[in-house]
Amino acid sequence: MPGQPAFRTPSPSPFQSLAAREALRLEKRDALLRAAVMMFNERGFHATSLDDVAASLGVTKPVIYHHLGNKDQVLFACVRIGLEQLRLAAEQSQRIEGDGLERLKAFLRRYAEVTMDDFGRCVIRTPDEVLSPDARKEFRALKAEIDATMRAMIEAAVADRSATVLDVRLTAFTLAGALNWPARWFRADGPMSAQEVARDIVEMLCAGLRPAR
């Protein structure tokens, strides 16, 4: 109307929203963790410096301190991600259709796939004595939880007669030991994918668990 100022569409705010800032923070944190875990796996914890990790991303070491903390905290953040992936694999495999042995095989396949990826590989390659006492305690507790879940799944397969084992504890140690080794020799550019390696190893291991007919 005459005499009234024309309506102007507000220009975009130069300030990021809270959600956008949080998304950017998580993106930076993930990039730092991915760079760190690759170096830990390739060089080992003691031979890796935070300066090297920072330089690989074109940032400074204080950036890592800001997002992740010191070197011990960075390592524990990496192994914790791997352990959480294994725990999630156990939870998901228990919800699939099939008998106890099929659920166990699903978990073992995913277990192997996780340990051939960066964070799972870090779990296998990290001796717990390099962690701080508090982190070591939590690390061992999380590993024990995964071990207990594997034993429970073996027991369930025995209970529904889809598997036969002589000793649940020894079977769990044998399966975990065999599935941990690909973390040391698997190469993503090799002749087989992680999924193919996991599938074939699990089939070989579980062939001995099937009841005699």
pLDDT in tens, 170-191: 999 999 999 999 999 999 898 9
* Average pLDDT for 52-60: 93
Please calculate the CA angle 113-119-120 and round it to the nearest 5 degrees.
40
pLDDT for the residue 86: 93
Cα gap 151→113, rounded to integer Å: 19
* Average pLDDT for 126-142: 90
pLDDT in tens, 65-79: 999 999 999 999 999
**CATH level 2 (architecture), domain 80-207:** Orthogonal Bundle (1.10)
Residue of 119 and 26 predicted with greater confidence: 119
pLDDT for the residue 17: 77
pTM of structure: 0.84
State the span(s) of the chain assigned CATH 1.10.10.60: 20-69
* Average pLDDT for 19-36: 88
* Average pLDDT for 104-115: 96
State the span(s) of the chain assigned CATH 1.10.357.10: 80-207
**With respect to CATH, is domain 20-69 assigned 3.30.1360.120?**
no
pLDDT for the residue 12: 64
From the number of C-beta atoms within 10 Å of its C-beta (0-12, 13-18, 19+), residue 71 rates as: buried
Q: How many CB atoms lie within 10 A of CB 190?
A: 11
**pLDDT surpassing 90 at residue 115:** yes
Structure tokens at 149: 């879940």
Short-list 102, 213, 87, CA closest to 154? 102
**pLDDT surpassing 90 at residue 96:** no
Residue of 69 and 210 predicted with greater confidence: 69
* Average pLDDT for 21-42: 90
Confidence class of residue 26 from pLDDT cuts 50, 70 and 90? confident
Short-list 110, 129, 128, 119, CA closest to 179? 110
